[in-house]
Amino acid sequence: MNKILLHTCCAPCALPVLDYFENNGNISDITLFFFNPNIYGEEYIKRLEYVKKIGEHYKVFVIEGENKHDRWLTYLKDSLENELESYIENGLRCQSCFKFRLEESIIYAKHNGFDSFCSTLQTNLYKDTEFINNETKRLCDKYGLDFIELTLDKKIAYERGKELCKELDIYRQKFCGCEFSINVV
């Protein structure tokens, strides 16, 4: 059996991916991994609650990764030259954030018996999915996991996610969740 760890940023992004896996007959292979130390304050609790709700709906396991917010901040500060507030949304700060979250998630997958890995970030309409796919593939190769390239059309996935959120009464946020993106909305 192929065990797939699906790094999950939030319920709205996970819904079209789960819908895709369910329609292709391999939903039972999926475990949702909520690892998002970038998400700040009460937003973290709210998003985790809704990821658990969709986990129950699709009958898939949900694992909450360790919330390493301080380690995430240190990683960003160490990997970037300027003050973190100075970077534009979807720029270098976000790329460093993706690297941290993806690598930690892939390490978790490797150490916990998963064969394959993918991330809901791969289909996000508002993120640099080319960078995310390339980085995810590179890290999967580095750690010896199969990379699942999610070939969902970003616009169609976004619309399907909106439909499913409405259907299942799922909270849809308007920002990535980090303290640097709060003022972007």
Q: Which residues pair with residue 34 across a beta bridge?
A: 64
At residue 61, the 3 state secondary structure works out as strand
pLDDT digits (tens, 9 = 90+) for 83-139: 999 998 889 999 999 999 999 999 999 999 999 999 999 999 889 999 999 999 999
In this prediction the pTM is 0.94
The answer to whether 120 and 8 are in contact (CB under 8 A) is yes
What is the pLDDT, as a whole number, of residue 7? 98
The residues spanned by each domain of the chain are: 4-184
Band of pLDDT at residue 175, cut at 50, 70 and 90: confident
What is the pLDDT, as a whole number, of residue 47? 96
What is the pLDDT, as a whole number, of residue 1? 54
Asked if residue 184 has pLDDT above 60, the reply is no
The answer to whether 111 and 95 are in contact (CB under 8 A) is no
What homologous superfamily does CATH list for 4-184? HUPs (3.40.50.620)
What's the mean per-residue pLDDT of the chain? 93
